[in-house]
Structure 1
């Protein structure tokens, strides 16, 4: 059975975005660490399907397709190729079609659809967000592995993915020289 992996960037005070979805806290100028980028690529390569919530889809698709199509010298190019070429499934209650390469829209029951995907042959499944979508997957106990990229910043208020108590077991932790920490958690 395939695993559903959740990869999120998070502040030390537990937010995945600012109150209005701001992500400016993720990138500290001059603090790029290539080993973190390599970890993100390794995680992506362990999967063959990406699940997305509708609200973050347009920005996600536009960003990665732009890097592939218009920025051949971008250091993001290896990850962009993966993001564009991988199968993507967007979960939506309001839309039946969304433009993007290798993109499908799922309008059915979230639990049934995810369990069905887990039972398909292939590599694992990755979820990058958004916050409400990730929160729904967590509440329904559908996430098998959590990869939380903790950033050395606090923002005071914002969007969270945890809306109820969730006991997790720390499986591994990697600390990077720029202060970021990647914690892998498993459900208990």
Structure 2
């Protein structure tokens, strides 16, 4: 069975965005060591899962990066653009992006169907609601929580209920971010 990974930026107090979706607290630019880490966890991925709201910015952004040979992130742009994507939505009826399909059925059924298919790992990038639903349905196998050196005090969170996890490793990066890696308990 394929593994579903979650890669998410998070504050030290557990938020993925401000109350109005603000993400200006994220640490950028990244240093080479964190870039290499992200390459290592995305290399064995052959499908990206996205919530609709994030997809509307994520897909066009990375397509633009992939098309700009002078961009230092061009390789990441190519990886994210060329990797098949599944966008989870109840509102979109057609997909406007290449290499992308829509999933509108039951989340658990859709994700379990993807996990049971032949292939490599899956990775989820979310918005709060999409990722919260993946977590509450216990669909994520491996968590990569990129903890930024910032606290918001209030905002959007992804853990809406008690969730027991097993610590796998912790790694710090030169830019100040620490990644906490967990698996299902």
> TM-score, with normalisation over the residues of structure 2?
0.96
TM superposition shift of 1:74: 1.1
Deviations 1:132-183 (A, max 9, x none): 1000000001000000000111112111000001011110110112221111
Matched with 2:27 is: 27
The runs of at least 4 aligned residues of structure 1 exceeding 6 Å deviation read none
TM superposition shift of 1:127: 0.2
Matches within 5 A, 1:1-188: 1-28=1-28, 32-69=30-67, 71-188=68-185
TM superposition shift of 1:50: 0.4
- The secondary structure found in structure 2 opposite 1:136 is helix
> TM-score, with normalisation over the residues of structure 1?
0.95
Q: Unpaired segments of 5 or more residues in structure 1?
A: none
Give aligned pairs, total: 185
TM superposition shift of 1:38: 1.3
TM superposition shift of 1:44: 1.3
**What's the Cα RMSD here?**
1.0
Q: Unpaired segments of 5 or more residues in structure 2?
A: none
Q: Is the 8 A contact 1:96 1:106 kept in 2?
A: no
- The secondary structure found in structure 2 opposite 1:16 is strand
